[in-house]
Amino acid sequence: MAEAEKTLEIIKAFTGDSTADSMILMTAAIVLIPMVAAVLLIAIRYIEVRGKLQVSPLRAAVIGNLSILLSTGISITVLSMYFANYVKGIQTPYIEASWEFIAGTKLEWAFLIDPLSAMMGALLGIIALMIHFYAYDYMRHGEEEVTRFFAFLNFFTGSMWGFIYAGNLFNSLIFWELLGVSSYFLIGYYWYKPSASAAAMKAFLYNKVGDVGFLVGIFLTYGKTGGDLSYTHIFELIHKGELSASTLAVPAILIFLAAVGKSSQFPLFGWLPEAMEGPTPVSALLHSSTMVKAGLLLLMRNFLMLYDVGGFEAVLPDVSIPPAAIITWIGILTALLGALMATTSTDIKRILAFSTISQLGYIASAIGAGGLSPAFFHLISHATFKSLLFLCAGAVIHNLHHVQDIREMGGLYRHMKWTAITMGIGLLALAGFPFMSGFVSKDAVILSIANSDIPFKEGAQAIGLLTAAITAFYSTRMFYVVFLGEERYDKEKIVPHASSKLMLFPLITLASLVVIESIWFSIGLIAHLAELELPEIFLFEGFLGNMFGVHTPTDGALQGIIYSTIMVFIGMGAAIYFYKINPNARESIRSSLKFFEDFINNRFGVDIAIFWFVDHVALPIGNAFKTFDSVVVDGLVNFFGRTASLAIADFSDQFDQKVIDGIVNGSAYSIKYSVQRLRKLQDGIVGDYAKFMILGIGMLLLVFNLFFGKLALF
């Protein structure tokens, strides 16, 4: 099939294809519109702070929403154009264009449209639009700085768009850092709360660790690709065999370090729960489709640096420590740890945050296992239901006047039915209930691990299945504790009511999106199992694989489905047993596993270890350097400054005073002596000068006449 050549063919844009041309320009517009709106809002905010103007929240929200709406429309247009052309076979998967950024180098503003960016951009657009819509109702009550909020939210969304459509590593880095800084602003939105500002700082610093890896990785890549950081160029080189995965192992691991920081993988996941200090729409956006997905997107973009691709198979590269294996194992470990932490957590938003960590681990492990399409598959489904879940959680919190502990909720189903239903849909998807979107995609992830070349892949598969069970457990637990059971909230102060329609609209939209996805994905699954011949668009994963040019073998798909279905039902059953049927058993198990629970609640000591590392290793080294600097370097400098240069200066001073001044003064004295006698001639009267001049001319003429006789004038 010529598909391989077609997918591997790389064509730069602007080769006369006007569609590609306009698509690239639309991409640029997608990135720029929210940014411009953000600048506008910041300007309005500045005027507000100066006391000149008071902008109502509605107007700020309208500006923010309109810009996002516009960009979303354009991004969906880009997606549809892209797919239309793709289905017709008109166009290659890669459309790229670049503008000069630093003259004479290949560092350029580059935009790249491939399946990844086209789909991700549209998805981000829909989710961000919903969240923006939701945020107005959420933020307008008692919040004064809605303008600032929307400005940063817009900025955040625009940065993510820029990252998605970025065409080379350099460009990605720029938007990567913009994401970091805008997330800093948003997490620290309630800056007057110490916990919020600390959380923002923590998120920023954890991210920075990854960013250093990213930067160094870019430098190494830059050297190896001859100065061209374009993704397409790197792929081209790899396909031609000029670069192999073994030479790119180190940069790949460094770039994975960046993803670890941004996507909160195993050692650096501590910042993500803290980031719940921001407003709930921010959490929804940050967890679903923007920030934490950026790291994974980066990994997917640089997928060929992790794996060699032979035909349709991703092959583990021939390196002593293959980066892919590291990624898979760290990912699956993160998934397990996140799920465990979600199980013990009692804060509604933190449960979701830990579940995010867990799902991100799944995605990372799939990337490591060579399953690019499963990873993206799961990324899409996760983005959808996680944004839905956060918005629902936000609605609950909003209703209960900022109570976040699930132990103080319960029985809310009676009061907020629609919220409960939508959240139930989301939780089912999260839990991996059969034929929900999460189920299909998670199954694909575990299948990709099973079919990969990763060392100890059976262990990883087992952990993945275990995690699926735990996920089902905590999802069910959360739904039960929040919406069912007895009403444990403070009834004197809080009267729950149904969520407003403004809030419900995004919830229902997203929930229906989850349902659509579920149906769509399930059709693909069933068709695959039943070996039906359907149009490619229905076989979503296969479709993705075709587009990416990398297939995961689907051996043992049915077996995997059965396994995971069993695990899901075990988890859900356990949750129902422990919370509804027999709560006392739960308490006894808790008391017996108290130590383990504390360990989990301390996040497995990872943060403690990091802090210990910083306190006892990094800071002492830094202090040692500081001491070295202050004692040795400064001492040397001071020694030379004080003694040696002073001696030289003294010598030159003496020389200057005695010799040079002597010469100068002596000549000045002699000139003054002679001038005091000659100055009498210069009386300042022009007439006298003229007389002397005339006398001189006359004497000259006399000399000529006397000694030269007749001058030969003629």
Which residues make up the interface to another protein (CB under 8 A)? 679, 682-687, 690-691, 694-695, 697-699, 701-702, 704-705, 709-711, 713-714
Detail the DSSP E strand segments found in 278-392: 308-310, 313-315
Considering beta carbons, is residue 321 or 706 the nearer one to another protein?
706
Please give the Cα distance from 111 to 78 (Å, whole number): 13
Minimum distance from residue 35 beta carbon to another protein (Å): 56
Q: Are 381 and 440 in contact (CB under 8 A)?
A: yes
Considering beta carbons, is residue 559 or 674 the nearer one to another protein?
674
Angle at which helices 169-187 and 280-288 cross, to 10°: 160
Considering beta carbons, is residue 459 or 696 the nearer one to another protein?
696
Which residues have a Cβ under 8 Å from the Cβ of 108 and sit 6 or more positions away? 98, 99, 100, 101, 167, 168, 170, 171, 230
Minimum distance from residue 701 beta carbon to another protein (Å): 4
Considering beta carbons, is residue 104 or 684 the nearer one to another protein?
684
68, burial (CB in 10 Å: exposed 0-12, middle 13-18, buried 19+): buried
Grouping H, G, I as helix, E, B as strand and the rest as coil, residue 456 is: coil
Q: How far is CA 588 from the centre of its chain?
A: 42
Considering beta carbons, is residue 401 or 691 the nearer one to another protein?
691
Minimum distance from residue 668 beta carbon to another protein (Å): 17
Minimum distance from residue 710 beta carbon to another protein (Å): 5
Helices (H), 484-618: 501-529, 540-548, 557-576, 583-592, 594-601, 606-613
Considering beta carbons, is residue 674 or 705 the nearer one to another protein?
705
Which residues have a Cβ under 8 Å from the Cβ of 631 and sit 6 or more positions away? none
308 bridge partner residues: 315
Minimum distance from residue 685 beta carbon to another protein (Å): 5
- Tell me the one-letter amino acid at 309: V
Minimum distance from residue 682 beta carbon to another protein (Å): 8
Considering beta carbons, is residue 530 or 686 the nearer one to another protein?
686
Minimum distance from residue 674 beta carbon to another protein (Å): 15
> CA angle at residue 141 from 138 to 145, to 5 degrees?
90
Minimum distance from residue 667 beta carbon to another protein (Å): 21
Considering beta carbons, is residue 582 or 705 the nearer one to another protein?
705
Considering beta carbons, is residue 590 or 672 the nearer one to another protein?
672
Minimum distance from residue 698 beta carbon to another protein (Å): 4
- The CA dihedral of 303, 372, 3, 451, to the nearest 10 degrees, is 110
CB neighbours of residue 627 within 10 Å:
10
Considering beta carbons, is residue 621 or 700 the nearer one to another protein?
700
Please give the Cα distance from 141 to 164 (Å, whole number): 33
Which residues have a Cβ under 8 Å from the Cβ of 190 and sit 6 or more positions away? 196, 277, 278, 279
The closest of 169, 139, 223, 123 to 517, measured between CA atoms, is: 123
Minimum distance from residue 703 beta carbon to another protein (Å): 9
